[in-house]
Amino acid sequence: MNLKHFLVALAIAALMPIEAVRAQVPSPPELGATSYVLLDFHSGETIAEKEPDLQVEPASITKLMTSYVVFRELAKGQLSLDDKVLISEKAWRTGGSRMFVEVDTEVSVEDLLMGVIVQSGNDASVALAEHVAGSEEVFAQMMNAEAERLGMDNTTYQNATGLPSPDHYTTAHDIAILARALIEEFPEYYRWYSQQEFTYNDITQPNRNLLLYRDSSVDGLKTGHTEAAGYCLATSALRDGMRLISVVMGTESESARATASQALLNYGFRFFETFKLYAAGDVISTTPVWKGEIEEMRLGIEGDVFVTVPRGSQGSLSAEVLVPSTPIAPFEQGQEFGTLEVSFDGEPRLQRPLVVLDEVPRAGWWGRTTDGIGLWFDGLFGGD
């Protein structure tokens, strides 16, 4: 191999215990659902699925995006939880599930969010949409813009409620993408999804997510139901540091959607586990560098790296660091350089770009000259 001319291929045998034996994983449970997805929150990997990209009516699971858009506006400082929202006649007249706001009254953004999240209020959803965007139609454009940004490629919104409308559809996979983003970006608001009841205007209504009452590990997310959509449920649960997200669409009853979701969650937690392989900023590799003020630069990753595998199969994980040849300074901090590849049972599982952890300025005239001579000799006499 040439001097300072290399391709690093480092097998990390110590990543997990080598004596571990891969477990045999049974098939996912049979569910009476039109479609479903089960994925790990940290790794983003899908554990089980059925027709994940089938376009279906989302019903009130639409309100996950309604809340997400409002959360984004709160984060931007365009909105405050204490802001008062004037309830329009349109919001007041909106049918279906309701928070029971009254026309021409003022309700805080926080109370309306609770009405959306806990009570699934269509009136609260319209009121928030009108307050944020001026009209529900313009708010739907904001919803679609966020869906596009998140990569929800098979989703189109027409309203903030999920009431049936032409060209208002999504998929189980897209809902899981949204749920993951909501949990990750807004933990301070996500806690509201575990609230079992909310009282407004002297009317107390329970959260329709039955798993909040059956399983202490479940802390969200949202139910949905229309005649066309059937009974739907997006759920998340956290057990021993592992968080799963399940989305079940098109079941026959409120009980059936809860039972199906519970079965998926139990399956995922029982037969799979998720590991944090690297943390953001960890030094994964060092590499010699030409014409720099320092002779080696440190390489790492910008975000944490997680992987989900069958329980007992940690020893089947391996990793490689692939670095281009002849790195020549300067390099900026955060500049991409090389790739981390993680494999499972010898099959590629994920790739992440490596980044330069510390700035590498160009060397002075003498350092550049001597390294230039070294590069010339390396090219003249070197060989693999």
CA–CA dist 66, 143 (Å, integer)? 7
What pLDDT score does 5 carry? Answer: 31
What pLDDT score does 324 carry? Answer: 81
What pLDDT score does 22 carry? Answer: 42
CA–CA dist 63, 116 (Å, integer)? 7
What pLDDT score does 330 carry? Answer: 86
Vertex 45 angle, CA 44 and 51, to 5°: 110
pLDDT in tens, 27-76: 999 999 999 999 999 999 999 999 999 999 999 999 999 999 999 999 99
What are the tokens at 361?
A: 């300025």
What are the tokens at 93?
A: 């007249």
What pLDDT score does 374 carry? Answer: 53
CA–CA dist 333, 229 (Å, integer)? 49
What pLDDT score does 310 carry? Answer: 93
CA 76 to chain centre: 20
DSSP 252: S
The end-to-end CA distance of the chain, in Å, is: 4
DSSP string, 269-305: HHHEEEEEEE-TT---EEEE-BSBSSSEEEEE-SS-E
Q: Which domains does the chain have, with CATH numbers?
A: 13-19+277-381 (2.60.410.10), 35-251 (3.40.710.10)
DSSP string, 135-203: SHHHHHHHHHHHHHHHT-TT-B-S-SS----TT-BB-HHHHHHHHHHHHHH-HHHHGGGG--EEEETTE
The pLDDT averaged over each successive group of 10 residues in the chain (384 residues) is 31 32 76 96 96 96 98 97 97 94 96 97 98 97 98 97 95 98 97 96 94 96 94 97 97 96 97 92 83 81 91 87 81 87 88 88 57 48 46
Could you tell me the pTM of the whole model? 0.86
CA–CA dist 268, 237 (Å, integer)? 11
223, containing H or E segment: strand 218-226
What pLDDT score does 8 carry? Answer: 34
Report whether 205 contacts 118 (CB < 8 A). Answer: yes
Vertex 274 angle, CA 348 and 343, to 5°: 15
CA–CA dist 260, 231 (Å, integer)? 11
What pLDDT score does 112 carry? Answer: 98
Phi-psi map region of 320: left, alpha, beta (phi>0 left; psi -120 to 50 alpha): beta
Q: Which sequence positions are flagged as catalytic?
A: 60, 63, 120
What are the tokens at 198?
A: 């909310």
353, containing H or E segment: strand 347-356
pLDDT in tens, 150-161: 999 999 999 999
Residue type, 180: R
